[in-house]
Structure 1
Amino acid sequence: MNHYAVTAAVAACLFAQTLSQPVLAQSAAYSDGKIKIGVLTDLSGQLSDSTGQGSIAAAQMAVEDFGGSVNGTPVELIFADHQNKADVGASTARRWYDVDQVDAIIDVPNSAVALAVQQITKEKNRVAIFSSPASSDLTGKACTPNGIHWTYDTYALAHVTGEAVVASGLDSWYFLTSDYAFGHALERDTGAVVESQKGKVVGSVKMPANNADFSSFLLQAQASPAKVVALATAGADTQNAIKQAAEFGLGQSGKNIVALLLAISEVHALGLPATQGIMLTTPFYWDMSDETRAFSKRFFEKRKAMPTFYQAGVYGAVSHYLKAIKAAGTDAAPTVMKTMKETPVNDFMTKNGTVREDGRVLRDMYLFQVKTPAESKAPWDYYKLVRSIPAERAFRPLSESECPLVKKM
């Protein structure tokens, strides 16, 4: 298990030693004399390129931009690889909370791992802010007072992409679905959208994660009457499915490939000839504004790649947490959660976002289409904006929520 710590700069530590007594009294409200954040991520599996070391770098940037300390108390960052195993993620979270005195866990790609960590976080009364897992159950039936679903979810992916594709006339769908919590939730949420728009789900097949050979699944999809082959997959599975779909000539046979979850790192790895024309939903693209470009340039200097929306979300999650801790004057989870929910989310990717009572962050989402090679003018110039979707349309309304924290009228 890889662990690693980032502490405040020496100068910040020296400065903290000279703080006046009132500030020292305030910093005493922080447990153990430090604020400790754990980045639980994928360092070795199919999401390691889109999260992994890039998520750690984004968290580092957020801590550095905050000055390395809060009210004179140093911020420490550690990380671990959950290996895409729920039991490994759960045991890491338990050890971090019980032994290492971690105050908050960030990132957690893989919905099965995130759901396990969510429950342990509730049991230990700490904070978890999920940037990379997708399952909308995190703020649905599995919601807790201690969890925030930060960046996106399967409901938003389903509604933004699903509605647009069905509206274009592609109304019969066949799902290739990763056989774990994320894939199940994404197929469920998207299938519901397709059917609500008078479309039809004609079939689906569940596939093991980290799959290298999609041939039998693609042949089943090709033999179906569906107009759309929808990939409810992530990371390397999505890359392999798109690559092999091109090799099998699914496009030439009249099938339309829809990648329900696609990161820019995966488009970069596959190349525009293989991905051109694909529609995708994301809350962030590096080339959207001066602010996104400025952050992405700094990130690129560290990682030699543009940030994915997962990694951009990690930066925002850490920043919002530190702002809340500073405002609250404590790292006690109930007070910090209350402060985060009362504080608007404002950073380079979100303007006046809110943290809802179920833990869902509401932010605008965007439907993009991957450019053709001829349309792309430079490396990483991959997307063109199709439409913007306001937060209240993109995410599940509270009236439909299964979260027990939500007060029903």
Structure 2
Amino acid sequence: MTGFNRRQILAGGAAAGAAIIAPSGRARAQARDQVIRIGVLADFSGPYRSTSGPTSLAAAQQAVEDLGLAQRGIRVEVMQGDHQNRPDAALALARRWIDQDGVDMICEVNNSAIALAVANLVKEKDRIQLASGAATSALTGAQCSTHTMQWTYDTWMFSNVVGGASVRAGGDTWFMITADYAFGHQLERDVGQFVQRAGGRVLGSARYPFPGTADFSSFLLQAQASRAKVVGLAMAAADMVNCVKQAHEFGLTRRGAQLAGMIMFVQDIKAIGLEAAQGMLLSEVYYHDLNDRTRGLGQRILRRTPDNMPGQEHAGTYSCCIHYLKAVAEIGAARAKASGIEVINVMKRMPTDDDAFGPGRVREDGRKIHPAYLFEVKKPSESSGAWDFYKLRATVPAEEAFRPLNEGGCPLVRG
């Protein structure tokens, strides 16, 4: 792959691309207008920093370097912004990026409320959002937009793979432990539908107060009493880590139950540890040790963030930047900066192919599709070293992994 000269890679807020100093104010303005700017809007300081933040920035920088557009005369800058998990702060930053800094595409956006808000802004401004971190399936459903694509995963996909594929693998009775708010309720409903559709049964559920629950023992007792083969965890982040650790201490899995995490990342497994997480079922669309292409990509990004192996969210940011920049290269930087919708149309027309997900495509509702995988967490004795966490249990083909086009209610879908 073609790389950048080191002097072309800018650290921090403007990270990747050539910065050419022009001799006059007018020439500087013209040069600035021709630079393609990508804004990585992510959690750089909060609870999702490891699954988002610096490694997503590194993934975007790696995409620019791998594609080598600087040597084709297309200058690219990658900017970073901390959304602080606040829609108001994120929207203000995104607006300033577009209005004052000339940002053409915003990616990552690992907060569904923020992604929905930014979708309206980029449509108004004829810019682009590639939501590689947001999970709500509304982005390609009733609230789909002409200027937003959802790149990596969504709640429908997680529920489909973890629920349906787990039943087909033998886990046909379930009990759910669910965060008692809209996010958890939606996951519980979705998983229940896929479990039943695959021929399984949900024997019951327990909803814990969110936020503020530190002790999951009473909910784990209810799960044990149900005698379900699978205990589904409709939660995320610190709650997931705490619940899995307590389930291990409680001996739930030693008594025959298998834990299934609805939304999990390799960073969660690292925080839990293989001793407690072993045997868990989960879904990811990328794993660094899946094949030769993912291994190569993982190592390239890891060199930039040596303390954090890239996970599926980071891979999504890499993938969306690669495809966006391929479209920019096809029509040229000037046309790409003049019209976001023209770039979107090219991206939907072109097939996708990258080291994160392999071949795929973008549907008319903005949903990027690729295979999804059901993984089981390895025992400590099965792991060969750091970040060697998963063994593959099932592969769900791209056309089956995501919600069918005609079921989402997206107004962009014809017929």
Report the TM range for the smaller structure's normalisation: 0.7 to 0.9
Q: Which amino acid aligns with 2:243?
A: A
Paired with 1:93 and 1:213, the residues of 2 have a C-alpha distance of 38
- Residue aligned with 1:191, SS: helix
| Pairing partner for 1:354 from 354, 358, 361 | 361
Q: 1:323 corresponds to which residue?
A: 326
Q: CA deviation at 1:220?
A: 5.2
Answering whether residue 344 of structure 2 is matched by residue 337 of structure 1, we say yes
CA contact (8 A) 1:156 1:394 kept: yes
Q: CA deviation at 1:272?
A: 1.0
Paired with 2:108 and 2:304, the residues of 1 have a C-alpha distance of 19
Paired with 1:285 and 1:276, the residues of 2 have a C-alpha distance of 17
Q: 2:409 corresponds to which residue?
A: 402
Q: Which runs of 5+ in 1 are unaligned?
A: 18-23
CA contact (8 A) 1:111 1:181 kept: no
CA contact (8 A) 1:173 1:230 kept: yes
Q: 2:57 corresponds to which residue?
A: 56
Q: CA deviation at 1:179?
A: 5.4
Comparing 328-337 with 191-200, greater Cα deviation is found at: 191-200
Answering whether residue 292 of structure 2 is matched by residue 314 of structure 1, we say no
Paired with 1:294 and 1:407, the residues of 2 have a C-alpha distance of 39
1:259-291 C-alpha deviation (Å, 9 max, x unpaired): 112111221222211111111111111112222
Paired with 1:153 and 1:70, the residues of 2 have a C-alpha distance of 36
CA contact (8 A) 2:16 2:61 kept: no
Answering whether residue 390 of structure 2 is matched by residue 380 of structure 1, we say no
Q: CA deviation at 1:170?
A: 3.5
Counterpart mapping for 1:125-144 below 5 A: 125-144=126-145
Q: CA deviation at 1:373?
A: 1.2
Q: CA deviation at 1:207?
A: 4.3
Q: CA deviation at 1:344?
A: 0.9
Paired with 1:76 and 1:126, the residues of 2 have a C-alpha distance of 16
Q: 2:9 corresponds to which residue?
A: none
Counterpart mapping for 1:87-126 below 5 A: 87-126=88-127
Paired with 1:90 and 1:207, the residues of 2 have a C-alpha distance of 29
Q: Which amino acid aligns with 1:208?
A: F
Answering whether residue 308 of structure 2 is matched by residue 301 of structure 1, we say no
1:122-144 C-alpha deviation (Å, 9 max, x unpaired): 23221111111211111111111
Instruction: From the superposition, tell whether residues 317 and 157 of structure 1 become closer, same or farther in structure 2 (CA, over 3 Å).
Output: same
CA contact (8 A) 2:297 2:356 kept: no
Instruction: From the superposition, tell whether residues 117 and 341 of structure 1 become closer, same or farther in structure 2 (CA, over 3 Å).
Output: same
Q: 2:198 corresponds to which residue?
A: 197
Paired with 2:212 and 2:287, the residues of 1 have a C-alpha distance of 26
Paired with 2:331 and 2:342, the residues of 1 have a C-alpha distance of 7
1:89-146 C-alpha deviation (Å, 9 max, x unpaired): 2232223223322211101112222222222222322111111121111111111111
Q: CA deviation at 1:345?
A: 0.8
Paired with 1:366 and 1:321, the residues of 2 have a C-alpha distance of 25
Moved over 6 A (4+): none
Q: Which amino acid aligns with 1:397?
A: P
Instruction: From the superposition, tell whether residues 168 and 352 of structure 1 become closer, same or farther in structure 2 (CA, over 3 Å).
Output: closer
Q: Which amino acid aligns with 1:380?
A: W
| Pairing partner for 1:229 from 205, 228, 231 | 231
Q: 1:176 corresponds to which residue?
A: 177
1:2-23 C-alpha deviation (Å, 9 max, x unpaired): x71225245xx38x99xxxxxx
Q: Which amino acid aligns with 1:346?
A: D
Paired with 1:344 and 1:115, the residues of 2 have a C-alpha distance of 25
Q: 1:248 corresponds to which residue?
A: 250
Paired with 1:185 and 1:113, the residues of 2 have a C-alpha distance of 18
CA contact (8 A) 1:51 1:308 kept: no
Question: How many residues of Structure 1 are paired with residues of Structure 2 in the alignment?
Answer: 394
Q: Which amino acid aligns with 1:145?
A: T
- Residue aligned with 1:374, SS: helix
